[in-house]
Amino acid sequence: MSSVSIALLSLVAMLALIYAGMHVAITLGLLSFVGVWLIRGDVGIAANLLAQAVSDAIASHIFGVVPLFVLTGFLVAYADVGKDAFEVANQLFRRIRGGLGVATVAANAMFAAITGISIASAAVFSRVAVPQMLRFGYQPRFAVGVVAGSSVLGMLIPPSLLMILYGFLSNQSVGDLFTAGIVPGLLLAVAYAVMIVLLATFRPDLVKVPGAQVEADDTPLMGWGEMAAKTLPIVVLIGAVLGGIYAGWFTATEAGAVGAALALAIALLRRKLTWRSFWGVLTETGHVTVAVSFLIICASIYTRMLAMSGTPQALVGWMAAMGFGVGIFLLLYIVLILLLGTVIDSSSIMLIVLPLMLPVAEQLGLNLIWFGVITVVAVEIGLLTPPFGLSVYVVKSTLADTVPIKLGDIFIGTAPFTLTMLAVLGLLVAFPSLSLVLLK
């Protein structure tokens, strides 16, 4: 059996094992080990390659950026920064149709520019925005759909954990990826807001219960001073972290450290953090970091196995023989990601598909920064699609004790946002300059 055949069989076996319920990292490591063993015919070589991958994969200070940005996200969640962002956004959009929905999107965009974790956004705004929308007569499906749908902004608007992961896998600058994510992130947020206003105007029955009151009429107006005070921590965090990266003052890893320190200071000044909750934040940060690191280690040997088999080069040759160009490649790539998004999480999708597809994209002459933006948007759609839809499950679990809503209703509520994401993804594919304009 040829090396390419072994690698392709491993891909089929991988999908079968993942669908059967085996953990993605264990599947990657096991099949990569067996693949190298069969390709080289020597179990010792496979064992040595596995050991080398374990020691080399994350043996770099660059990987410190993962726990630092995760820690920042959890700290600002405890500090009620998300709640403040929602209150300010609600004040600004209170008089337009679907104003609370638009406020949720705007607040999520601000929160995303600090945290970079969609799960944190979904959990925070499930507690903050959903009760407020239900109070003013919004349809429960729409209220939870807005929160779950807009939570995906956390992985597109920088800083983004998925952008960081893509940068590691593709050897691209994390700073350039952050810059490339700004315009697409804002475009998606604006598209969400426009969609909400259009629904509230032409299909108000989908947005609000008939006869419900106009939102926020009885909400006290905030003065400009109060709004500035609530916005100041957000501005300071965004300015220090992203401004420092773009100005060249420090690297992405150093920016993560600055963000974590500032987030800790804000939480302490607001008296929102106890020793017990701080230990909980550190524990959750450790869980996320270890999970990501384990995936990266197992994906490293998988990447080496594919390179050893020559599968990427064979795939390029096959596409050329079939007459497939860049358009067909991108279509197949996006469809594959969307299908995987129905069963596994975002990080796992990237670690499965990128080792095979990045060499092909490079051979086709695609800009890998733009390709990264396309990848992140496509992967994030998986957070909203059944049956896996991680953001949907986070919303459901967060509201389990307060809002009785079925999982299927949340998926229905996210449908307009999923369609909007697909439309924005199409624009980004058709017009690469939308992602690269700030890098020129």
**Tokens 């219960």, located at residue:** 209
Encode pLDDT of 227-253 as tens digits: 788 888 888 888 888 788 777 787 777
Say how far apart CA 397 and CA 403 lie, in whole Å.
Answer: 10
Written in H, E and C, the secondary structure of 353-394 is: HHHHHHHHHHHCCCCHHHHHHHHHHHHHHCCCCCCCCHHHHH
Which string of DSSP letters, residue by residue, matches 323-355? T--HHHHHHHHHHHHHHHTTTS-HHHHHHHHHH
Residue type, 424: V
Encode pLDDT of 35-82 as tens digits: 888 888 878 877 887 777 666 666 666 667 778 878 887 788 777 777
Encode pLDDT of 339-374 as tens digits: 878 777 777 788 778 888 888 888 888 999 999 999
Say how far apart CA 440 and CA 437 lie, in whole Å.
Answer: 6
Helices (H), 203-274: 204-207, 224-247, 252-269
Helix pair angle (275-309, 3-20), 10° resolution: 150
Say how far apart CA 269 and CA 246 lie, in whole Å.
Answer: 28
Residue 385, sorted as left (phi over 0), alpha (psi -120 to 50) or beta, turns out to be beta
pTM confidence score? 0.81
Residue 168, sorted as left (phi over 0), alpha (psi -120 to 50) or beta, turns out to be alpha
In the chain, what's the furthest Cα-to-Cα distance? 74
Domain boundaries, the chain: 3-439
The phi and psi torsions of 45 (rounded to 5 degrees) equal -65, -40
Say how far apart CA 298 and CA 277 lie, in whole Å.
Answer: 32
Sequence-distant (≥ 6) Cβ neighbours of residue 365 within 8 angstroms: none
